[in-house]
Amino acid sequence: MNYFNDACIEILKEIKKNNPKTQYELNQLKLKILNKYKTNGNLSYIPKNADIYFAASEDERKNFKDLLSLKPVRTISGVAPIALMSEPYPCPHTMKGIGPCTYCPGGPGSVFGNVPQSYTGREPSTRRAIRNNYDPYFIIFNRLEHYVAMGKVPDKAEIIMQGGTFTFFPKAYQEYFVKYALKAMNDFSKLFFDKDGDLDILKFKKFFELPRILMENDGRIKRIQQKLLYIKHLDLIDLEIKKKVEELFFKDFFDKKLMAEKFNALRKIENNNQNEITMSEQNISLKIIENKIQNPNITAIKTIQNKLKIQNNKNLSLKQIQKENETSLIRCVGLTIETKSDFGKLYHGNLMLELSCTRVEIGVQSIYDNVLEATNRGNTTADNIESIRILKDLGFKINCHYMPGLPHTTKEMDLHGLRQLFENPDYKPDMLKIYPCMVMEGTKLYEDWKNGKFKPLTTKEAAEIIAEAKRYVPEFLRIVRIQRDIPTYVTSSGVDRTNLRQYVERVCKEKRIKCRCIRCREAGLNSIQNKNINLENLKIKVTGYEASKGKEFFISAEDIENDVIFGYCRLRFPSQFLREEITKDSALIRELHVYSTAIQIGKKSSDSFQHKGIGKKLMAKAEEIARQHGKNKVVVLSGIGARQYFAMLGYDYDGNYMSKIFRKF
């Protein structure tokens, strides 16, 4: 008997009866039902909102969608972010015999296991990657499933590539990884949405076997992965192939005997079950590491090589998949790649353009060369400055990582370092992640800490430094994160809480420090608390500043009275012309973003500021500024999924960019 499903149905009855308004009230109803089943020993797991959502009827889903929709902040900035973790792979300066960085955990053969460099295997995105065998196709399907289960249509998705220095991976692996991530978006769209963009809830529930039967969840995951393994290499543009897939997975789906026969057929069709083979290879690799027969970094490299041989269908090209994604229901509107500055130069920038990357995250970590050298960083401050300039002049958005509390720094040096990022034209990134240095087992810093040679920042000290730095944050910068997404139970010393941002906000409030970064002012987050925000107060504001030897214009749509930003456009006059598409009379648009609850492409909502002409106004202002300065061409580095939008504004395909040419005044 499926007690779990019965509990979900009873909770729905209680919702109808009691009409809860908050998550707290809903959780109280859940506990009431759970206690009833606990008494009989039939249930020990509280159903998630998604479980209740898929146990509901169509009318109930419509009526209770807002109540059962979780984590609205996930899409409150206008996009659906998806963290995508690459394979465990050595970092470049480790292979040079310099690194890894003294504070950096993880990596092949680490004390945390065979995990990506800089991670511990305990972070949510890493756990998801491990569960899906680091397969980009599996991970994207899994994440999109979660979004739909939360009542969202993640049609404007933003991929954030994690897992170390991605540009150090073999070029073939980089292309493979992006190709199958995009293919997953395309295939998910074809399988579960109709031509009007409406979700086929029945197909979705059948494919993902929802609502779950809790005791069979592991089997459910394995069965889903078997299905994905089958369709991963198929071209669903071919209507005949798509028809066969739908017959296989959506007809008589819950007939267990028929399903067993279907999966037996799949095993025969897939002579080389890539999932099983790869798992077998990983087990062999682990044995090699345990026996110390081979260097774990070499083993990781060989694992990548084997995966490319087995799992990469060369008949499906990256260009083909990218082109298809432009008009797919679920589109990649932004692609972020993490790298180091010595692997973020012109050669790497051109490769990232081929992958359709739009934003680069650079681990600056410190502005002090002696600190970079002491921590085995493998690059200099000059590398950081050069990389930031090159990548801006190619049109990328720049998100810098900075690490207060490193060896040989003081609190005063850390505050100065952060201010330099904000004020020194050689830096001035568009975004920033602040990661106070923490001590983790398996690092050289851990040994120094144990021997009393290193003392990390406390939570209080880190919060005070960051809060004080917020006095100086320019309005064109967005502080994306404060604190890494590493659970504190795997750290040995340093900041001891994962909600450091809330701690910092409390310190700011006590000291009357008002942060004016984009995140603190963006309309989506502010509209939750301030219901008076409306578009009638919108004004276009232009802030010009020098950065990386070029000229930047931060063009924002703001409610000045409430100090709220609806959206912005980043216009740059580059300092050098590194591509034939970017002429001496060109202006670059590096970003266009409207902040609010994400709304499906082609639709409008009174609850969101998207799709109401803000983007067009910002683009018109950018073009006006370009003309006024004698430019005759505007070049846009557009996300794949946004190219159709720029085409609608008169922009044409131009190499890896979209561009518009107009007469000079």
Query: Using H for helix, E for strand and C for coil, what is the string for 386-444?
Result: HHHHHHHHCCCEEEEEECCCCCCCCHHHHHHHHHHHHHCCCCCCCEEEECCCCEECCCH
- The closest of 16, 50, 8, 53 to 33, measured between CA atoms, is 8
Which residues lie across from 106 on neighbouring strands?
117
Q: How confident is the model over 416-437, as a mean pLDDT?
A: 98
Name the average pLDDT for the chain: 88
First CA to last CA across the chain, in angstroms? 76
Q: What is the pLDDT of residue 284?
A: 36
CA distances to 12, 385, 422, 590, 616 from 572, in Å: 53, 17, 17, 7, 18
Contacts of 19 (CB under 8 A, 6+ apart): none
Residue type, 547: A
Would you report the helix, strand and coil content of the chain in percent, each value rounded to 5? Answer: 50, 15, 35
The answer to whether 8 and 52 are in contact (CB under 8 A) is yes
Concatenate the DSSP letters of all residues of 445-495 into one string.
Answer: HHHHHHTTS--PPPHHHHHHHHHHHGGG--TT-EEEEES-S--GGGEEES-
At 622-654, the pLDDT tens digits run: 999 999 999 999 999 999 999 999 999 999 999
* Sign of the torsion formed by the C-alpha atoms of 314, 317, 318 and 321: negative
pLDDT computed for residue 527 by the predictor: 55
How far is residue 456's CA from residue 464's CA, in Å, rounded to a whole number?
14
Can you tell me the distance from the alpha carbon of 457 to that of 439, in angstroms, rounded to the nearest whole number?
A: 10
Q: In Å, what is the CA distance from 537 to each residue of 516, 520, 561?
A: 18, 18, 8
Does 3.40.630.30 match the CATH number of domain 526-661? yes
pLDDT, tens digit, for every residue of 528-546? Answer: 555 567 777 899 999 999 9
- Most distant CA pair in the chain: distance in Å? 81
What's the pLDDT score for residue 99?
79
pLDDT tens sequence across 544-553: 999 999 999 9
**346 phi and psi angles, rounded to 5 deg:** -60, -45
| 340-521 placed in CATH 3.20.20.70 | yes
pLDDT in tens, 571-626: 999 999 999 999 999 999 999 999 865 556 666 655 555 666 899 999 999 999 99
User: What band does 290 get if pLDDT is binned at 50, 70 and 90?
Assistant: very low
Q: What is the pLDDT of residue 41?
A: 63
Residue 527 exposed, middle or buried by CB count within 10 Å (0-12, 13-18, 19+)? buried
Q: How confident is the model at residue 291 (pLDDT cuts 50, 70, 90)?
A: very low
Percentage of the chain surpassing pLDDT 90?
66
Residue 261 has pLDDT above 50, yes or no: yes
Specify the higher pLDDT residue, 18 or 475. 475
d(C-alpha 635, C-alpha 648), whole Å: 15
For position 532, what pLDDT does the model report?
A: 63
**Chain centre distance of CA 464:** 28
Q: Is the CA virtual torsion 592, 598, 599, 601 positive or negative?
A: positive
The more confident residue out of 65 and 401 is 401
Looking at residue 408, its pLDDT comes to 97
Task: Evaluate whether 289 touches 299 at the Cβ level (below 8 Å).
Answer: yes
Looking at residue 469, its pLDDT comes to 97
Instruction: Find out whether 504 and 466 touch, Cβ atoms under 8 Å.
Output: yes
Model confidence at 225, pLDDT cuts 50, 70, 90, reads: very high
CA dist list (Å): 284 to 111, 280, 281, 303: 18, 6, 5, 10
Stretch 243-256: mean pLDDT: 75
Instruction: Render pLDDT for 100-135 as a digit per residue (tens, 0 to 9).
Output: 999 999 999 999 999 999 999 999 999 999 999 999
- Mean pLDDT check: name the lowest of 69-83, 213-227, 488-502: 69-83
Cα separation, 127 vs 112, in Å, equals: 12
Beta-bridge partner residues of 409: none
Rg, Å, the chain Cα set: 25
Q: Which of 71-80, 287-296, 354-363, 616-625 has the lowest mean pLDDT?
A: 287-296
Burial of 194 (0-12, 13-18, 19+ CB in 10 A): exposed
Residue 64 pLDDT class (50, 70, 90 cuts): confident
pTM of this structure: 0.88
Residue 526 has pLDDT above 70, yes or no: no
Q: Report, as an integer, the average pLDDT of 217-235.
A: 90
CA 437 to each of CA 298, 335, 366: distance values in angstroms, whole numbers, following the listed order: 29, 27, 11
Q: Is the pLDDT of residue 287 over 50?
A: no
Report whether 70 contacts 49 (CB < 8 A).
yes
Alpha helix (H) ranges present in 193-295?
201-208, 217-231, 239-250, 256-269, 274-290
Neighbour count for residue 223 (Cβ, 10 Å): 16
Instruction: Give CA–CA dist 134/231, Å, rounded.
Output: 17
At 294 the pLDDT is: 75
Residue 327 CB partners (closer than 8 Å, separation 6+):
644
∠ Cα 587 588 593 (to 5°):
130
